[in-house]
């Protein structure tokens, strides 16, 4: 097994953890030893390995130093796990106070052969409170010949009294680059053929654990009949080819929902890990953001990088950020979804449905228009007031409001019609150049908002206008993307349109029907009703239905875009 064969025997063979090794090496070489050491970190980062090497350094027959000889009787016994003066304990299996007392009863006696009697307690956080109390007494007044090496993955569970009596060293997760570099060295020594992309996959799958990386490498070698090929490692890990992920995000960028579902169906044929698929999408969106903000980050000329550049140019920065947020939320929600494939599909469809600067699309069953092409992106139509009016009336209302917004306040008040509180959710104090609670939904599109700010404002209701202060409430069901900077962006949009300073406040809560989103729903419902009415009154369709004894399938009628 590679993980056991390549376990480091000295500090110099350790990969990473230089911040810990430097402190230990200096302490050993300068004779500044402590009686208790605590090593923390996630699984497979080297906690027990460091403790065993430290035990060798302390009990090497040549002398205490950071470089044990590795040949003396003490070093060999520790390496082979048969040293009587190195007492290794798994606290997970010895949690009772009686076990701890039995263990510590002999701490007062001198070591049998070595310089120090060393207690290595792994997963020390599993001890009971009574066991910690028994250990504490020994840590307070340890005999000079005793050393304690404690290891844990959860230091938060250790009492402060224990922590305060130990030197604590936190071992970090391995970087994927460090894992790949070490795997290259190991496989070269083992004479195993490998493809570099396969090692990259293993380095990422190890999630910071070198032990996991070596174990996965063992499994991959067996899976690939002695070789490490990218396609075999992908199959073994259940990860998706990067080309498929690029195609998937490209279809999302095109707004082609049917093509997205076809891509997911193709991925599903290979029994993937859908969590890993979402992680690949997140990684790709990160690369797209870098390509948009720091073009020099893509310095290569591979076909993959060229596709990433093309996709980065086709998307706005706001769109990329919104897609990234949806992917992060989708990864988080994956465990609670009824089926992981459904979670992936819903995440991708959300990206299309809530894409900035465009209304949700109503497409044919083929995912596009009659020619098979995805429907073109359109700018939102000018909204009507809650009572749907003709396009001429809408234009006139918008023009009058814009004229009022640039007039002096007194003149505007004289020219404007009396305000009515009918339909308002609360009393208002308003000036003529600001929207009222009733007119806010129709006023929304004139601000020209884009991106996440547009998505947030779409679900806001204007509660009160106090002077030049606009007080909004944001629907709590759509508040996951809300951040303080959207308030500033909304203020800037008002200031640019009205040429007067405006203060905006947004609170999260319950909203009524006076939101731009509700207005769009009303307009969509009205267009749907008109389309259905037009078909009902179509004589040609009526004749066809009579001739062929047919009916119109419910839900199949769509208004023209």
pLDDT at 157 over 80: yes
End-to-end Cα spacing for the chain: 63
With cut-offs at 50, 70 and 90, classify the pLDDT of residue 516.
Answer: very high
The pLDDT tens digits of the residues spanning 375-391 come to 444 444 443 333 444 44
How large is the average pLDDT for residues 162-180?
Answer: 90
Average confidence score pLDDT of the chain? 82
Three-class SS of residue 69? coil
Distances (CA, A) of 186 to 13, 173, 194: 12, 19, 11
The pLDDT tens digits of the residues spanning 309-350 come to 888 888 888 889 999 999 999 998 888 988 999 999 999 999
pLDDT at 138: 87
> Quick check: 506 and 472 in contact, CB under 8 A?
yes
The pLDDT tens digits of the residues spanning 477-493 come to 888 878 888 898 899 88
Give the single-character DSSP code of 126. Answer: G
pLDDT at 222 over 70: yes
pLDDT at 486: 87
Give the chain's domains with CATH numbers.
2-170 (3.40.50.300), 176-237 (1.10.8.60), 242-353 (1.20.272.10), 391-519 (3.30.300)
pLDDT at 207 over 90: no
The residue with greater pLDDT, 229 or 99, is 229
> Quick check: 305 and 287 in contact, CB under 8 A?
no
CA distance 296 to 294: 5
Cβ neighbours around 490 below 10 Å, total: 23
The residue with greater pLDDT, 397 or 488, is 488
With cut-offs at 50, 70 and 90, classify the pLDDT of residue 168.
Answer: very high
User: Does the pTM exceed 0.75?
Assistant: no
Residues 201-238 as b or e (16 or more Cβ within 10 Å = b): bbbbbbebbbbbbbbbbeebbebbeeebbbebbbbbbe
Closest residue by Cα to residue 96 from 125, 52, 131, 71: 131
The pLDDT tens digits of the residues spanning 527-548 come to 888 888 888 888 888 888 887 8
Residue partners of 114: CB distance under 8 A and separation at least 6: 59, 74, 83, 85, 86
Residue 168: φ, ψ to 5°:
-105, 130
pLDDT at 471: 93
With cut-offs at 50, 70 and 90, classify the pLDDT of residue 286.
Answer: very high
pLDDT at 78: 92
Closest residue by Cα to residue 514 from 449, 422, 430: 422
DSSP per residue over 183-234, as a string? Answer: HHHHHHHHT-EE-HHHHHHHHHHTTT-HHHHHHHHHHHHHHTTTEE-HHHHH
CA distance 514 to 444: 11
How large is the average pLDDT for residues 153-178?
Answer: 90
The pLDDT tens digits of the residues spanning 455-479 come to 899 999 999 998 889 999 999 888 8
């Amino acid at each position: 097994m590679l993980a056991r064969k390549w376990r480091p025997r000295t500090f110099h063979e350790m990969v990473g953890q230089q911040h810990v090794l430097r402190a230990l090496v200096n302490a050993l070489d300068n004779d500044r030893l402590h009686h208790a050491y605590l090593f923390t970190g996630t699984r497979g980062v080297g906690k027990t390995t460091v403790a065993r090497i430290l035990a060798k350094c302390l009990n090497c027959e040549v002398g205490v130093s950071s470089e044990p000889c590795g040949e003396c009787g003490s070093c060999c016994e520790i390496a082979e796990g048969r040293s009587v003066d190195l007492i290794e304990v798994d606290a997970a299996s010895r949690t009772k106070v009686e076990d701890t007392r039995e263990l510590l009863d002999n701490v007062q006696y001198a070591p049998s052969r070595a310089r120090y009697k060393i207690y290595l307690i792994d997963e020390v956080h599993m001890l009971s409170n009574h066991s910690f109390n028994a250990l504490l007494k020994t840590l307070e007044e340890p005999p000079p010949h005793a050393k304690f090496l404690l290891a844990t993955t959860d230091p938060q569970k250790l009492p402060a009294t224990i922590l305060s009596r130990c030197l604590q060293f936190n071992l970090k997760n391995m970087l994927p680059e460090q894992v790949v570099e070490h795997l290259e060295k190991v496989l070269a020594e083992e004479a195993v053929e490998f493809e570099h992309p396969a090692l990259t996959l293993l380095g990422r799958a190890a999630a910071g654990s070198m032990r996991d990386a070596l174990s996965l490498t063992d499994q991959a070698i067996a899976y690939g009949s002695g070789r490490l090929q990218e396609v075999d490692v992908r199959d073994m890990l259940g990860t998706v080819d990067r080309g498929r992920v690029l195609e998937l995000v490209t279809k999302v960028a095109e707004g082609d929902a049917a093509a997205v579902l076809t891509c997911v169906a193709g991925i599903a044929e290979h029994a993937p890990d859908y969590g890993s698929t979402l992680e690949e999408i997140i990684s790709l969106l990160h690369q797209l953001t870098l390509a948009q903000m720091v073009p020099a980050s893509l310095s290569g000329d591979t076909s993959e990088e060229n596709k990433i550049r093309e996709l980065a140019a086709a998307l706005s920065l706001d769109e990329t950020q919104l897609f990234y947020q949806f992917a992060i939320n989708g990864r988080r929600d994956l465990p609670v979804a009824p089926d992981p494939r459904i979670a992936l599909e819903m995440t991708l469809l959300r990206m299309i449905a809530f894409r900035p600067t465009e209304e949700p699309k109503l497409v044919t069953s083929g995912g596009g228009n009659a020619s098979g092409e995805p429907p073109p992106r359109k700018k939102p139509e000018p909204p009507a007031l809650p009572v749907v009016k003709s396009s001429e009336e809408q234009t006139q209302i918008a023009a009058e409001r814009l004229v009022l917004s640039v007039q002096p306040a007194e003149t505007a008040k004289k020219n404007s019609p009396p305000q009515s509180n009918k339909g308002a959710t609360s009393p208002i104090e308003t000036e003529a150049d600001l929207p009222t609670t009733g007119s806010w939904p129709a006023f929304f599109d004139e601000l020209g908002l884009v991106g996440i700010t547009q998505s947030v404002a779409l679900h806001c209701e204007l509660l009160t206008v106090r002077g030049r202060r606009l007080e909004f409430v944001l629907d709590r069901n759509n508040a996951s993307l809300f951040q303080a900077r959207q308030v500033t962006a909304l203020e800037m949009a008002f200031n640019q349109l009205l040429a007067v300073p405006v203060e905006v406040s947004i609170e999260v809560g319950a909203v009524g029907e006076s939101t731009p989103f509700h207005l769009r729903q009303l307009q969509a419902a009205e267009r749907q009703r008109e389309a259905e009415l037009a078909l009902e009154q179509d004589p040609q369709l009526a004749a066809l239905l009579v001739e062929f004894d047919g009916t119109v399938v419910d839900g199949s009628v769509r208004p023209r875009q």
